[in-house]
């Protein structure tokens, strides 16, 4: 066994709440939120730096890609405990251990559905399931001295049976007991009561950390998690931006800030540096392809915006009139200082650093060229423009098999709209002219003619980055081919160009996904599975 860090036992510091982030596991499970290997490494590094106690880095047996990502995150992590998920069988647990064992502080998280509906799936009766829990937790504990166990769908499990299985898991060596509200069914009072009841009635409960894992189907995930803390839980499982299956998970930024702002009535603290919230929120939005809704608490674009005259007047006199926290508390700089075409490299570097991007010299050179091109087309470059530019730049971690070289579109009231496109496909430049129902359709048809594929466009969204007619547009697309879902995002002052770049980015990612699921196939050829 390695030198492993034990979780903080609840009795050591009763007011300390551990933050367990599952953006890379439960968050990534959300259809369409798939991240690349490098994106996962980047997010894990940001989570580690911001003081997240435990990072659930993936589900190692789910795929080779997940295994590799968890392994590398484990090797690189500096302070966070690195956790992997495993079902209740030895094969899953062994595979999980193979990946997390490289961490300074590894954790195995094993789970089984304990509610009547979930027991029916493996067709185990109560006694058989109890035995399986005993055997698998014992096995995990023989490999790793930091073991988390979860009775999936705990909030719909019979109380007596829940008590029984929690006791078995504790006796078998689990060090954290997580109580998942898998389908977002519970409500705050019940959430607190379940944890309190378990702590008061299960022998050995005071020796372990109780965790809460809430889904947001009824919009109560944050409230339920905070209530669970009042009931005695000392670990909150959450994701950045509340990413996750269906309506998502408890949002990390919400619980962290709620515990800070209302410390008077919830006297608990976390180890998270809240000033890093905005940056990681933006990165997760970009790499997952799940944009943050404008009115999302803490991290939404409007979370600190005051539109109405009465609010603005109050804010100018005293910011506390309408603000319960300051933008800078979550890493949002107060001003959106404008840059322009006369701004130099040093100013750009300083501004990007303020926004959370630290660039090496060669990266700064690349970004500076892009910044100058943007500043030539736009009078003023705002913070949001720079963020969009950086999203574009950092989103290029995937090999660019396809690249737009030239695009001219004819559009207007007279149909048909048409696109003249030169696109590099591998080593070859292809020139295509195509028509469509509107300029974007014409461009997508041209790309498809140059590179036939069978992917379906599921989502196409355009957002203005800032205001004004010279504003950049950010375009997001989501595409699907044989169950593989990919996203692409790009920004440009020309909406059609941004659309073309986003579409091509998604296709480049699709090639990576094809290769992963079909390693021996020539995934870049036109005839791949009769594409097109
Ligand atoms: O929601 C859930 O039950 C889960 C478990 C795997 C912990 O994500
Ligand atoms: Zn979950």
The per-residue pLDDT for range 137-178, each reduced to its tens digit, is 999 999 999 999 999 999 999 999 999 999 999 999 999 999
| Confidence bin at 80 (pLDDT 50/70/90) | very high
Take residue 302 and report the two structure tokens written for it: 């409007």
Residues 444, 377, single domain; the answer is: no
Partners of 151 in beta bridges: 112
Residues 360, 418, single domain; the answer is: no
Q: Rounded to the nearest whole angstrom, what is the distance from the C-alpha of residue 164 to the centroid of ligand 1?
A: 19
CATH of the domain at 314: 1.10.238
3-class secondary structure, 193: helix
- E-state strands within 324-447: 402-410, 417-425, 428-436
Residues 154, 263, single domain; the answer is: yes
Note whether residue 303 is domain-resident: no
| Confidence bin at 3 (pLDDT 50/70/90) | very low
- On average, the pLDDT of the chain sits at 89
Take residue 376 and report the two structure tokens written for it: 């030539």
Residue of 277, 501, 470 lying closest to 392 (CA atoms): 501
Residue 15 C-beta-side C-alpha neighbours within 13 Å: 9
User: C-alpha dihedral over 202, 249, 79, 272, to 10 degrees?
Assistant: -100
Beta strands 18-21 and 235-238: pairing type? parallel
Residue 449 burial (CB count, 10 A): 16
Residues 58, 148, single domain; the answer is: yes
Q: Rounded to the nearest whole angstrom, what is the distance from the C-alpha of residue 214 to the centroid of ligand 2?
A: 7
Q: Which of 368, 395, 422 is the last residue of a domain?
A: 395
**pLDDT at res. 310:** 57
3-class secondary structure, 110: strand
- Of 92, 114, 213, 216, which is best to mutate to test ligand 1, by the most ligand atoms within 8 angstroms of its C-beta? 213
User: How distant, in Å, are the alpha carbons of 67, 117, 441 from that of 37?
Assistant: 10, 35, 31
The per-residue pLDDT for range 245-288, each reduced to its tens digit, is 899 999 999 999 999 999 999 999 999 999 999 989 988 987 88
Note whether residue 440 is domain-resident: yes
Give Dmax over CA atoms of the chain in angstroms: 77
Determine the Cα–Cα distance for residues 38 and 60; give it in Å rounded to an integer: 16
Residues 125, 54, single domain; the answer is: yes
Determine the Cα–Cα distance for residues 167 and 170; give it in Å rounded to an integer: 5
CATH of the domain at 474: 3.30.160.270
Q: Decide whether any atom of ligand 1 lies within 6 Å of the 181 Cβ.
A: no
Determine the Cα–Cα distance for residues 184 and 220; give it in Å rounded to an integer: 8
Residues 421, 379, single domain; the answer is: no
Task: Tell me how many domains the chain contains.
Answer: 3
Note whether residue 524 is domain-resident: no
pTM attached to this predicted model: 0.79
Note whether residue 28 is domain-resident: yes
Note whether residue 11 is domain-resident: no
Beta strands 209-214 and 176-181: pairing type? parallel
Q: Decide whether any atom of ligand 1 lies within 6 Å of the 492 Cβ.
A: no
CATH of the domain at 71: 3.20.20.70
64 phi/psi in degrees, rounded to 5 = -60, -40
Q: Rounded to the nearest whole angstrom, what is the distance from the C-alpha of residue 373 to the centroid of ligand 2?
A: 44
Note whether residue 91 is domain-resident: yes
3-class secondary structure, 447: helix
Partners of 290 in beta bridges: none
Q: Which of 377, 395, 413 is the last residue of a domain?
A: 395
Is the pLDDT reported for residue 313 higher than 90? no
Residues 139, 263, single domain; the answer is: yes
Structural domain of residue 416, as residue ranges?
A: 397-515
Is the pLDDT reported for residue 203 higher than 60? yes
Calculate mean pLDDT across residues 392-398: 69
Residue matched to tokens 């196409």? 460
Nearest CA residue ID for atom 5, ligand 1: 152
Take residue 113 and report the two structure tokens written for it: 């559905």
């Amino acid at each position: 066994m390695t030198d492993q860090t034990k979780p903080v036992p609840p009795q050591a510091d009763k007011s300390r709440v551990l933050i367990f982030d599952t953006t890379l596991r439960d968050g990534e499970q959300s259809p369409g939120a798939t991240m690349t290997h490098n994106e996962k490494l980047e997010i894990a590094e940001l989570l580690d730096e911001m003081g997240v106690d435990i990072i659930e880095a993936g589900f190692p047996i789910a795929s080779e890609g997940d295994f590799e990502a968890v392994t590398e995150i484990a090797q690189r992590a500096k302070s966070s405990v690195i956790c992997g998920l495993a079902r209740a069988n030895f094969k899953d647990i062994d595979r999980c251990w193979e990946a997390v064992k490289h961490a300074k502080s590894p954790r195995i998280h094993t789970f089984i559905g304990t509610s009547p509906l979930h027991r029916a799936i493996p067709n185990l009766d109560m006694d058989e399931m109890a035995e399986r829990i005993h055997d698998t937790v014992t096995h995990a504990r023989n490999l790793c001295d930091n073991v988390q166990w979860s009775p999936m769908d705990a909030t719909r499990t019979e109380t007596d049976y829940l008590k029984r299985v929690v006791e078995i898991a504790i006796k078998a060596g689990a060090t954290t007991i997580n109580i998942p509200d898998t389908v977002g069914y519970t409500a705050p009072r019940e959430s607190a009561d379940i944890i309190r009841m378990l702590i008061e009635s299960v022998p050995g409960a005071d020796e372990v950390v109780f965790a809460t894992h809430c889904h947001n189907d009824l919009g109560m995930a944050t409230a339920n998690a905070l209530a669970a803390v009042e009931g005695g839980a000392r670990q909150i499982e959450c994701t950045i931006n509340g990413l996750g299956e269906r309506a998502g998970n408890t949002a990390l930024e919400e619980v962290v800030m709620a515990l800070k702002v209302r410390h008077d009535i919830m006297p608990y603290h976390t180890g998270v540096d809240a000033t890093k919230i905005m940056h990681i929120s933006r990165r997760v939005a970009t790499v997952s392809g799940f944009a943050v809704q404008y009115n999302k608490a803490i991290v939404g674009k409007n979370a600190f915006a005051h539109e109405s005259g009465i609010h603005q007047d109050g804010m100018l006199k005293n910011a506390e009139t309408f603000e319960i926290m300051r933008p800078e508390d979550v890493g949002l700089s107060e001003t959106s200082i404008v840059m322009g075409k006369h701004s130099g490299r040093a100013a750009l570097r300083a501004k990007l650093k303020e926004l959370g991007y630290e660039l090496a010299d060669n990266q700064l050179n690349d970004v500076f060229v892009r910044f100058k091109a943007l500043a030539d087309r736009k009078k003023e470059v705002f913070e949001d423009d720079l963020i969009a530019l950086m999203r574009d730049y950092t989103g290029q971690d995937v090999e660019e098999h396809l690249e737009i070289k030239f695009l001219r579109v004819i559009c207007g009231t007279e149909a048909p709209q048409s696109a003249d496109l030169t696109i590099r496909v591998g080593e070859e430049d292809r020139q295509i002219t195509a028509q469509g129902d509107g300029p974007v359709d014409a461009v997508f048809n041209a790309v498809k003619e140059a590179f036939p594929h069978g992917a379906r466009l599921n989502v196409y969204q355009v957002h203005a980055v800032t205001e004004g007619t010279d504003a950049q547009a950010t375009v997001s697309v989501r595409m699907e081919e044989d169950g593989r879902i990919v996203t692409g995002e790009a920004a440009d002052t020309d909406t059609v160009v941004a659309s073309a770049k986003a579409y091509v980015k998604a296709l480049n990612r699709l090639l990576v996904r094809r290769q992963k699921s079909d390693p021996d196939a020539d995934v870049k050829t036109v005839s791949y599975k009769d594409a097109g």
